[in-house]
Structure 1
């Protein structure tokens, strides 16, 4: 709605002017007679016209443009402010070694900083700082450094921000500029608050407060609000309420809606953290009320200035027109009315169309978000199923390893028993039992089950053997690879000895040799190393 407010307002003003043209038989119009005219703007405009009447004093004209630009910037009319700053620069020309140029360049940087255009803001502040160094203009250098620090703070580059702010503070202290020292201390405190280094933040905030204490100024309100905010963040709610309450009282005296909104909002946060939600809600409502009042006042001020600019320009054009002709034909008036109404209709239709288009776009975005959520939920279920499958296979592999160990143990025990029987010569079954032992030994030497175990292991840990081989300085034997796989399954030396059909001492020796081939710290466990691969 804000986008189309300006055109509708201009249309209404044009309609009023068209109606007033029927009575325009005077030869001059008093610009200051409009009820809605902004007196500050009119005074600045008057000073500018007076400066222009003295073309031999370009710096005076530039100063008038600068003051008018500052007024525009204070109202948030950045385009108009930039226009005035550029006109002032045109008057200065190539004389960049002038303090007026430094002020102008800094103000242009402030506009870019307000619009979060950090690259251009930094460029202007740096250029100004270099110029002040050449001019040996310490105050301008301190201001430029402080602005550079603020620029880096907004970008989150706190180290650079602190460096420039501390340089600025040193210069202000050398100049004994109390206002500069106070504001820079507050800026440094704000950076430390962002870094959550609250001890340093309190130190700089209290230094700033010593300079602004009992001044009943906006600067004092800012420092008190910062102190209250820091106490709240460190859990000292009593002092937080005290300092923020003091800031609120001064802001009420100053009738500063912005500071009142900030104070009530901080009080609401403190009460909420204390569990007093009734007071928190009441303070939040107060903050909203002041925010609305502030926006309304800002809009009214901007509207009055724009209206005054428009009326001034229009009435100046009317004066010129009245000098050339005394009447405007009724046909031209009617044609203008039709054009104005047509333009109003077009703007209304365009606004309605854009509104419907925006709603449709929002619906499409909501649908895409729902689809994306459904897809993510589906992938989450699939991932969970895969994890369950891996867990199941891991458990199966462990059971398979234990089964293999148990089978080998049984076969070994059976083989030893049969050997004992076969050693008894008075038995007739000696030859037959020997054959049976031979067959069992033969089965123990088969690698089929190892092949099946290897395939099963690779399904669950496909990259393990490759990673283990890559980490070793020398090539690993098949026996060492088998030992590594069994360690990966977190089996004990006794269980591994049973599976490999060796003694536990042999397993310990094999583990020691394998460890020497791998990049393992002496304090780390071999089993943990294998599991983490």
Structure 2
């Protein structure tokens, strides 16, 4: 899920402008100032600012499109997509990410197009359109691979692993998660390492490979607990309880399940 709003218009960051800084004879400056104010308002969270900020962003986007300034228009669309995704308005998030993807492509900004493609794939996955989500993630992966952008490749593979997992494509899910795990272990990204471990564990558990799945959940649960990621820790405990039960370790299963109940009760 996006965690920040996009402050860039095209390749240049929008400067903080006051009304006195903006020439009324320069519509582009006015639009960029409007974008900046809208971003600042949206970042303050929900409440009375949302309506006016969103409207300002829409108006700025309309202006940029009228001038064929597609990079700027796409940046507005990305901001709006982020906003509606955070609001759990999946339909409008989809529409704006799709628009951003198309407009970045019109501006010949391949990297930004790939980023928008990732966001659109995320929404489609949420909507259950696994086929198109897979296609778009693979499209982004192909671009990042062509540019040797290893960090972005690993990020796509985590998401792609999730889509394959949701589609029951277990071999493909394992391959994606394991590729990403190798990268994140090499670069000491503990949070991502544990996400990959949990993903691998889930897929192995689906196939009743209890002994193989156990060490992945055990290692992931330790990291989630240390970082106080309560839901993820609880999910690992539930999986471990299932594994212990299947292995005939009933005392361990009961103890672990009770710990999971306690964790979810305080979440």
TM range (shorter): 0.7 to 0.9
- Which stretches in structure 2 are left out of the alignment for 5+ residues? 1-13, 24-28, 246-252
Q: Which of the two has greater helix per residue?
A: 1
Structure index of larger Rg: 1
Distance, in Å, in 2 between the alignment partners of 1:241 and 1:128 is 42
Partner of 1:69: 42
Pick from 55, 64, 67: which aligns with 1:95?
64
The residue matched to 2:17 in structure 1 has which SS? helix
Task: Using the TM superposition, give the Cα deviation of residue 150 of structure 1 relative to its aligned residue in structure 2, in angstroms.
Answer: 1.9
Q: Is the 8 A contact 1:248 1:260 kept in 2?
A: no
Partner of 1:52: 18
Distance, in Å, in 2 between the alignment partners of 1:107 and 1:78 is 17
Distance, in Å, in 2 between the alignment partners of 1:81 and 1:217 is 35
Partner of 2:92: 120
Q: Does 1:224 align with 2:192?
A: no
Distance, in Å, in 1 between the alignment partners of 2:99 and 2:235 is 38
Pick from 253, 257, 264: which aligns with 1:280?
257
Alignment root-mean-square deviation, CA: 3.1
Correspondences of 1:205-244 after superposition (within 5 Å): 205-213=177-185, 214-244=187-217
Distance, in Å, in 1 between the alignment partners of 2:263 and 2:205 is 19
Pick from 232, 239, 247: which aligns with 2:220?
247
Pick from 151, 170, 176: which aligns with 2:123?
151
Distance, in Å, in 1 between the alignment partners of 2:221 and 2:89 is 32
Distance, in Å, in 2 between the alignment partners of 1:227 and 1:107 is 33
* 1:291-322: CA deviation from partner (whole Å, max 9, x where unpaired): 2xxxxxxxxxxxxxxxxxxxxxxxxxxxxxxx
Q: Is the 8 A contact 1:261 1:288 kept in 2?
A: no
Pick from 160, 170, 185: which aligns with 1:198?
170
TM, length-normalised to structure 2: 0.74
Q: Is the 8 A contact 1:225 1:247 kept in 2?
A: yes
- Which stretches in structure 1 are left out of the alignment for 5+ residues? 1-47, 292-533
Q: Closer, same or farther in 2 for the Cα pair 1:260/1:61, shift >3 Å?
A: same
Distance, in Å, in 1 between the alignment partners of 2:51 and 2:221 is 34
Task: Using the TM superposition, give the Cα deviation of residue 226 of structure 1 relative to its aligned residue in structure 2, in angstroms.
Answer: 1.7
Distance, in Å, in 1 between the alignment partners of 2:38 and 2:118 is 24
Q: Closer, same or farther in 2 for the Cα pair 1:178/1:103, shift >3 Å?
A: farther
Distance, in Å, in 2 between the alignment partners of 1:71 and 1:217 is 30
Partner of 2:233: 263
Task: Using the TM superposition, give the Cα deviation of residue 236 of structure 1 relative to its aligned residue in structure 2, in angstroms.
Answer: 2.8
Matched length = 236
Distance, in Å, in 1 between the alignment partners of 2:207 and 2:265 is 25
Task: Using the TM superposition, give the Cα deviation of residue 180 of structure 1 relative to its aligned residue in structure 2, in angstroms.
Answer: 2.2
Task: Using the TM superposition, give the Cα deviation of residue 83 of structure 1 relative to its aligned residue in structure 2, in angstroms.
Answer: 4.5
Task: Using the TM superposition, give the Cα deviation of residue 169 of structure 1 relative to its aligned residue in structure 2, in angstroms.
Answer: 1.0
Distance, in Å, in 1 between the alignment partners of 2:180 and 2:203 is 14
Distance, in Å, in 2 between the alignment partners of 1:176 and 1:81 is 39
Q: Is the 8 A contact 1:262 1:287 kept in 2?
A: no
Task: Using the TM superposition, give the Cα deviation of residue 135 of structure 1 relative to its aligned residue in structure 2, in angstroms.
Answer: 0.7
* 1:83-113: CA deviation from partner (whole Å, max 9, x where unpaired): 4344345456612435454233123223434
Distance, in Å, in 1 between the alignment partners of 2:177 and 2:166 is 13
Q: Is the 8 A contact 2:161 2:176 kept in 1?
A: yes
